[in-house]
Structure 1
Amino acid sequence: MIDPEGDPVFRRLSLALLTLAALTSCATPATPTTPAPAATVTQPDFAALEKTFGARLGVYAIDTGTGREIAYHADDRFAYASTHKVFTAAAILHRGDDLHRMITVRSSDLVPYSPITEKHLDTGMSLQSVLDAALRYSDNTAGNLMFREIGGPEGLTADLHRSGDTVTHVDRIEPALNDTAPGDIRDTTTPRAWAADLRAAVLGSALGPDRQAVLTGMMRASTTGGNLIRAGVPDGWQVADKTGTADYATRNDIAVVWPPNRAPIVLAVLSDRPQKDAKADDKLIAQATAAVVKVLP
C-alpha cells in the first residue's frame, strides 16, 4: 500500500530505494554497457508451447555476460499493455524531476484498475508514489499521471527514440491502449525492441545510479508478476519485472533476472490468442521462461 508523503513507512521505502544502488553493486556482477556479441544457443521448442496453449508467443532473451541470445518471433508485433509503465517511469526519472513533488489526483483522472490512486483523491501523491503505484501495482491512473508528466504518448515516443527505439508505436493512454486487435500496430512493440529498451533502462548509464535504483527497486518489489517470469526461474534468482494484460488474451512480462554470481539476463515474453475474449494463462509465460533459463543456465 502506498502511503502519502510524510508517512514513516513511505520514508523507509524511499530510503531503501535510494540506497539500492550501493547494495546492487555489491550483490550483482558488473554489467557491460555495450552489448556483447550475440552467440548461438539451442533454441527451446516454443512452437510446442504455442500449440499447447493455443497462443502466439514472442520471446527475446540475452545473457548480458556472454552475449548468448534466444529469439522466437522476436521481431513480430505484440500489444505491450502495461509493460510500457517501466519506460514511462524511466522517462520521468531521466528528466530529473523532484520525486517529492506532490501530484493532484482528481476524480476525473480515475480509470479502471486504480487500486492505489483511488485512495488519494483528497491527499494527492508524491511523484515517487505515482511511479511506485504504476510499477508495483500496475495502477492505470498512475500510468496516465506519468503520461501527463512527459507530454502523453508523444513524450514517451520521443524518449524511446532517444534510446534508439524506432520500432515501438505509442499512440494511446490507459485503458484505451489495451484495446488491441490482430494487425493493429497501435501501442505495439517487438520482444527484441522491448528487451533492448529494458536493458538500457535498468542496466545502462542513462539514468544514473540513484535514479536507476529507484526504478529497479520498484520493479523488484512488483506485486503483479508472481506467476509469470518469477515462477519460471530457479529459487534464489532475483527478478525485476513488469507485467501487462490486454484484449485477445494478451499477457506479457518483461524482466531483468539476476542468477547468483553471474551477469543478468534480460528477457521479454509477450503473448496473445486469436480470440478477443480468450483467457490468458500465466503458465505460458512461466513455462517459456523456464525453457529460456534451461538453455541459459
Structure 2
Amino acid sequence: MGTPLKPSDPYEVFSTRRDEALKGGSAGLLYVEFSADKDANSDDRRQWAVANPSYPHRTGESAILRMKKNLGDDSLRREGLGIWDETTISSAIDPRLWANGTVETRADGGVISFCIDMSPDRSALAIGACMKYLDGTAHIELAEYRDTKKHGTAWDADWIEQRWPKTAAVVIDAQSPAMVLLPELKSRGMKVMVNTINGMGQACGCVLDMLTAGTLKHLSDADQPQLATAVANATTRPIGKSGAFGWNKTGSDIDISLLVACTMALQGAWITRRNPNRWQHVMQ
C-alpha cells in the first residue's frame, strides 16, 4: 500500500508492479488504485471524490485544503489525488556518465571557484564549488547547502570572505534570487562575476561535454545525496534559438539550485582571469 512517490524517491519495485498491473497483470497479482484524472485540477472537488472514497464523509474538505497548504500542489496531486508523475521525461544528465565521474576524494592541486545560488522560493541557499586543474580536468561538488528559514542568508558573506584569498572566482547568476547577496559581497572587497543567460547555456553544455569526455569528476552520490537528487531530476529548458539550454526541474518540490551552483562554479573557473596561486607566490 502507498501513494505515488516523488521522482527522487527509489520506487522502482512499486512502479514496476504498477506497470505490470496496468498491462494486464499476472497470476497472483491484485492491484487497486484510486486516482484522479491525470489532467485534474487540484481544486476540483469532484476529482477529490474520484481519488478518495472517504471524501467528504470521513475526510472532509478542510483536511484536503490543509494538506494542500502544507504539502504544495505537486505533493497534493501525488498523496491526495493519487496521480503519478509522467515518467517519459528522461534526466538531462545520463546516469551512467554521472556515475562514471565518481571519485572517492577530491584531488588537490587545482584552483577553486564558487557559485552562490538560491532556490526560486528562497527556501535554501547553495554554494557550489569547482576545482580546476592544469590538465584541463575539473572536480565539482556541493560546498554548502542551508535552509534559509533556519539559518538565514547572512552567513554566506562570511563563508565566502574566509575563502576569498584562495578563490579564483565567485559567480552569481543574474536571474537568481541570490543576487540579493551581491551588494554585501562587493562591500567586503570581493569581486563577483554576474552570469548572463548565454553563460548559463555555455556552462550546462560544458558539464555534459566534460562528463562525456571523462574530464569532470565529483564525489559519490552517497557522500552528496542532495546534489545527486538534483542531478537525477534535472531536465532542460531551451535558451534562445541556437540550441543552448539551461537546467530545469521535474516538479515544484525539486530543488536544482545545487546543480546550478556547481555548474556555474565550473563556468567561473573557466572564464576567470584571477589566479590566487600566482598572487600568493608574489606575496611570498
Relative to the length of structure 1, the TM-score reads 0.24
Larger Rg: 2
> What is the TM-score with the length of structure 2 in the denominator?
0.24
